[in-house]
Structures are given as C-alpha cells and as structure tokens.
C-alpha cells in the first residue's frame, strides 16, 4: 500500500469475510462435537450413522442452528452494506449503469437468500431453505462475474488488471464448484459434495474480501442537516461519496 494512509472502510469486506468464515467453522465444529455430522476428513459416509457434513445439516439442530442463524443474518446485513457502498463507489465511473445496477440487485438477492438459509433450517422448511440456497449460490456467482467485469472496466487507481484477473479466476472456480456440487448431489456422492460446498463458501468469502483493495481508496459520509430550500436528498448525498485522497492527512 506504498506507506500511504488508507480508508478505514477497507476493513468492512475483510470483517465480512473473516467473521463469516469463522462463524461457519464454529457451526461445523459444534455439529461434529455433538455427533450430528461426520468430519470433512472422513473416508466415507456410513449410512444411518451420521450425516454428511453439509453446511445446512451442520446448522440444522441446536445449539449449532442458533449460531448458524446469527452468522447468516449478520453476513446478509454486511453483504447488503457492501453491495450499496460498491454501487456508490462505481456509480460516477461507469458510463452504462446497467452493469453496476445488476451487480447491486444480484448481491441484494444473494443477501436475501442468506437470511432464508439462516432462519429456515433444512428439516423445518426444506422448500424455503432450498430457495435460499439457490438465491445465495446462483446470484452470488452472478455477482462475482459482474464485479470482475466492473473491476477490469473501471480500473480504479490503475489496479484493474492486478485485482480483476484474480477475481476472474475466483469466479471461474466458484462456477466450477457450483456445477460440481450439483453433479455430485445428483449422484448421491455426498461426502465429496459436502467438501465442494465448503470450498465454495470459502471461495465466495475470499472473493468479497478482495473488495478491500478498492475500498481503501474511498471514504463514505452521510450528512444529516436541517431541511432547507436547497438541500440534497439522501440518495444524492450518498452519490457524492468522495474519493479518498491518500496523499492528504
């Protein structure tokens, strides 16, 4: 970072990625400790003994389900905040706004899917839970490709290629994991499908952690003032989030 001062907003995507990852692994270890699922390193699944270590099954029974709900709700909230700030960041820099708007909508829908995953456990309401899974994985994958394209197109601080190429690679890996996950599920190869699902979740979180690279250049302010004749609307105030000048104190 060349020894220059960075915006504190860079920690938002990092907190989202690190704390969500830690929360999911806490859910996993609780479920393993309670003998609800097999460990990920098990050689094979023994039918009728324990379940394969899918994320949804790990967070299906209390106390793991309580932690899982809290983790997914917090993750959904942070993802929504990241989606809005990323949209504001790119809004003045893209000529055709449809791609930026699509990225916002896709991540908002993925965030909504996270709340369904967290609050409707698999055994309590399988249909709604599966809708949440589809929204999270489907629109989450779409978000990754859109943000990769925007990264290369906008090229903030001439870092487009340096950040965009790893995001393209991560997007391709995420897409491969999604396809492989559903193929393994269809063939009832559950242990390998569960491992792919955990890898998919970690790839998603790693991807969004990379947004810290661009966020370090920006600061966001919400100004609250008494209404006057010439005043900015809330949306206009947000759109004027200024670029962070790293050479100023």
* Measured torsion, CA atoms of residues 166, 17, 218, 146, in degrees rounded to the nearest 10: 50
3-state secondary structure of 229: coil
Give just the sign of the alpha carbon dihedral 177, 110, 64, 183. Answer: negative
- Read off the pLDDT of each residue in 135-157 and give the average, rounded to a whole number: 94
Q: How confident is the model at residue 242 (pLDDT cuts 50, 70, 90)?
A: very low
Give just the sign of the alpha carbon dihedral 99, 100, 103, 109. Answer: negative
Give the pLDDT of residue 228.
63
Give the pLDDT of residue 5.
76
Give the pLDDT of residue 153.
92
Q: What is the pLDDT of residues 13-23, one digit of tens each?
A: 999 999 999 99
Distances (CA, A) of 135 to 3, 108, 140: 40, 10, 7
Q: How far is CA 41 from the centre of its chain?
A: 25
Cis-peptide into 159, omega within 30 deg: no
- Read off the pLDDT of each residue in 39-66 and give the average, rounded to a whole number: 82
């Amino acid at each position: 970072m060349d020894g220059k001062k960075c915006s504190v907003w860079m920690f938002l995507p990092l907190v989202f990625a690190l704390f969500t990852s830690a929360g999911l692994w806490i859910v996993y270890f609780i479920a393993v400790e309670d003998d609800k699922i097999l460990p990920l390193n098990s050689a094979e699944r023994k039918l009728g003994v324990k379940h394969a270590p899918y994320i949804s099954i790990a967070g299906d029974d209390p106390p793991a389900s309580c932690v899982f709900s809290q983790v997914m709700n917090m993750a959904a909230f942070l993802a929504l905040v990241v989606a809005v700030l990323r949209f504001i960041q790119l809004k003045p820099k893209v000529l055709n706004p449809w791609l930026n708007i699509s990225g916002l909508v896709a991540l908002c829908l993925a965030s909504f899917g996270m709340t369904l995953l967290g609050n409707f456990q698999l055994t309590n309401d399988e249909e709604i839970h599966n809708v949440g899974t589809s929204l999270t994985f489907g629109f989450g994958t779409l978000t990754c490709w859109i943000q990769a394209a925007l990264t290369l197109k906008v090229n903030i601080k001439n870092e487009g290629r340096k950040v965009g190429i790893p995001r393209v690679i991560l997007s391709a890996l995420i897409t491969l994991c999604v396809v492989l996950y559903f193929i393994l599920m269809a063939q009832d190869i559950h242990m390998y499908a569960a491992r792919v699902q955990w890898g998919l979740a970690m790839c998603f979180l790693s991807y969004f952690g990379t947004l810290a690279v661009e966020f370090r250049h920006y600061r966001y302010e919400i100004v609250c003032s008494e209404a006057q004749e010439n005043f900015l609307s809330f949306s206009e105030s947000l759109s004027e989030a200024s670029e962070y000048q790293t050479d100023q104190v």
